[in-house]
């Protein structure tokens, strides 16, 4: 067993800081937009509900992503919460993945591409953005949402898995 560590996060221990953040299990989302060259997707685990009234969510793309400029300026987007059986979407929407090629999708009235296999989906209009260091905090006003049955895909400590309820 690794001993407990306490440290001040700074440039000398970014990996340790990242590992400590990884102790918090998150869901996995796919954010979609209509780009200049067609539909685009961005896998993110930096997602949270922000407000019930008005209905707001947030997510945070990394500024280092080649897709960052498209998502940072999108007026509308959809956030899909992934089910455990959609884990293959992570590679599909990664740096050299196939993206939407060969995937059936439809467009929201605002033009965002959406996929039916998500555990939940939030169709949003851009509400605001805020500086978040090496990420941008994007706040979306939820126009409509959809939810389905299933088990969520979970990310923790560098691995993907699923949620298991305790009796």
Number of domains making up the chain:
1
Residue 97 lies inside a defined structural domain of this protein: yes
Q: Rounded CA gap, 90 and 44, in Å?
A: 9
pLDDT at 4: 72
Please report whether residue 13 resides in a domain.
Answer: no
Who's near 147: CB < 8 A, 6+ residues apart?
119, 120, 121
Tell me what pLDDT residue 7 has: 67
pLDDT value of position 165: 74
Q: Which CATH number goes with the domain that contains 151?
A: 2.30.110.10
- Domain of residue 123 covers 26-158
Binned average pLDDT, 10 residues per bin, the chain of 167 residues: 64 76 82 94 94 96 95 97 93 91 94 94 98 97 95 86 77
End-to-end CA distance of the chain: 27
């Amino acid at each position: 067993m690794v001993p407990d560590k306490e440290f001040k996060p700074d440039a000398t221990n970014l990996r340790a800081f990242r590992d400590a953040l990884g102790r918090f299990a998150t869901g996995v989302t796919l954010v979609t937009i209509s780009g200049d060259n067609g539909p685009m997707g961005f896998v993110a685990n930096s997602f949270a509900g922000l407000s019930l009234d008005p209905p707001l969510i947030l997510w945070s793309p990394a500024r280092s992503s080649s897709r960052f400029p498209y998502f940072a300026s999108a007026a509308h987007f959809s956030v899909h919460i992934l089910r455990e059986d959609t884990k293959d979407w992570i590679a599909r929407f990664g740096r050299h993945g196939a993206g939407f090629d060969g995937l059936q999708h439809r467009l929201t009235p605002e033009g965002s591409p959406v996929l039916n296999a998500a555990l939940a989906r939030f169709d949003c209009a851009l509400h605001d953005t805020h500086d978040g260091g090496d990420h941008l905090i994007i706040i979306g006003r939820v126009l409509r949402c959809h939810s389905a049955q299933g088990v969520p895909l979970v990310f923790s400590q560098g691995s993907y898995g699923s949620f298991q309820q305790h009796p």
